[in-house]
Amino acid sequence: MRVVGLVYMLHRDSVLVAVVEGASRRWVHLCGVHELLSLIAGLREELDDPAKVARRRLPLLRAFANWGRRLIPDEVLEHPPDVLVIVPHDFVHQMPLHLVAAEDGRALAVHSGVSYCSSISLFSWIVRRRRHWSSGPPLAAGGGVDVLATGPDTFQQLGDVVLATLPKWEPDATSLPDSPEEMDEVVMRPVDPDLDNAVMTPDLNLRIEMGRWRVKRILRDRNVAVACLVAHGFVDSENHRDSGLLLQAAGRSLRRLRVHGQMMTFPDVPLRELPANQAFAIDAEALTIAELESSLPPRARLTILLACSAGSSLQLRGDEPGSVAESLLRRGSASVIAPMWDCDYEIAAAWAEPFLAAWRGGAMPVALAVREAFRSLDDGLDPTALGPIHLRGDWQ
């Protein structure tokens, strides 16, 4: 299997890339920065406009297969590897390089299993953590919820499709914290108004599949190898750490934490209010990046995060992560599959089935299963529809 890494660097007026294969590395000058600035600014504007994305009025994205070739070395375009690991820099972070046309005119995504990683140090850290993966069966957990839908919940249906292909995880006594440092279980009080005098009963079988605590428990449970989260995402333009996912409210609850050796109890509430000017079909809560980052690190080998506005590759100052997907990687999830920009439900569903059939719970590296999914959908589908879904993190 041939694995190639592309490590980008913007240097003064030039776009450079280090082509890494095995023990060899060489730098290649790709183009001048000024050649691409107006095109990249226009493409970013297109992909940030929900109306244009929904109507697929994306002329610059359609043309990116050609003008984006300036960002890929000729040797990769002529002879795509089996796996291509892309480490962007600066404006390259938001470029869908897997859609660039190879020499035969087809997207790189159908030739190579493409994985993105925001930095070399993050990729090295993720690889070193491979030994933490569960050696048991690849149990899956999660689901889907559309808190805005007034009709059938298609998000739940998609979550069910993903979970149906793998053995399903169910919370039990082994799901409780396995060390004093992890003593942070949440307990439910669905009817008792007197929270101060309520009996502390561990909640092992939440009725709410896609509530805040259930999602956090799934991400960090040592028995869960695959976490599937299908939901609406949202972006807070003033404070990116207040961005996150819209989940179903799970009712009144308490949380226990060990503080200076003592167990403390307090109401478990979201860290922010719901986005304003939005009508919800069911009781909802926001799970923010800040809350994820303050919780215990995720342990999932693969997180399938099918949520709008949650998979952006945007990097902020100091390489601070600008999306839920990137935060999960930084905290401990080995690989994340997410849309780089807003994605149709129908495309996500069509993509998920061939991916899961190829991956088979880890029988094939994740990146190669991603390649198989793109290959299965390559004929007859608009590349602007296929493009959002991408892999971040470890390619294995």
Helix (H) or strand (E) holding 28: strand 24-32
| Distance (Å, whole) CA 237 – CA 162 | 31
pLDDT band, very low/low/confident/very high, at 296 (cuts 50, 70, 90): confident
pLDDT band, very low/low/confident/very high, at 200 (cuts 50, 70, 90): very low
pLDDT band, very low/low/confident/very high, at 199 (cuts 50, 70, 90): very low
| Distance (Å, whole) CA 13 – CA 210 | 47
- 89 is written with which tokens? 């820099």
User: Average pLDDT for residues 357-380, to the nearest whole number?
Assistant: 86
| Model pLDDT, residue 294 | 82
Whether residue 66 has pLDDT greater than 70: yes
* Backbone dihedral angles phi then psi of residue 25, each to the nearest 5 degrees: -150, 135
pLDDT band, very low/low/confident/very high, at 138 (cuts 50, 70, 90): confident
Q: Are 201 and 186 in contact (CB under 8 A)?
A: no
| Model pLDDT, residue 112 | 96
Q: Could you say which DSSP state residue 168 is in?
A: B
User: Which whole-number Å values give the CA distances from 89 to 94, 251, 260, 284, 369, in the listed order?
Assistant: 9, 43, 41, 37, 26
User: Average pLDDT for residues 293-298, to the nearest whole number?
Assistant: 82
- Residue 331: count other Cβ atoms within 10 Å of its Cβ: 18
| Model pLDDT, residue 381 | 57
Q: Are 164 and 248 in contact (CB under 8 A)?
A: no
User: Average pLDDT for residues 6-20, to the nearest whole number?
Assistant: 93
| Distance (Å, whole) CA 239 – CA 241 | 5
User: Average pLDDT for residues 5-31, to the nearest whole number?
Assistant: 93
Q: Are 70 and 92 in contact (CB under 8 A)?
A: no
- 325 is written with which tokens? 């997907």
Whether residue 177 has pLDDT greater than 60: no
| Model pLDDT, residue 43 | 93
Higher confidence at residue 129 or residue 210? 210
Whether residue 260 has pLDDT greater than 50: yes
User: CB pairs under 8 A, 24+ apart, for 42-51?
Assistant: 43/95, 44/94, 47/94, 47/340, 47/341, 48/341, 50/342
| Model pLDDT, residue 188 | 43
Whether residue 383 has pLDDT greater than 50: yes
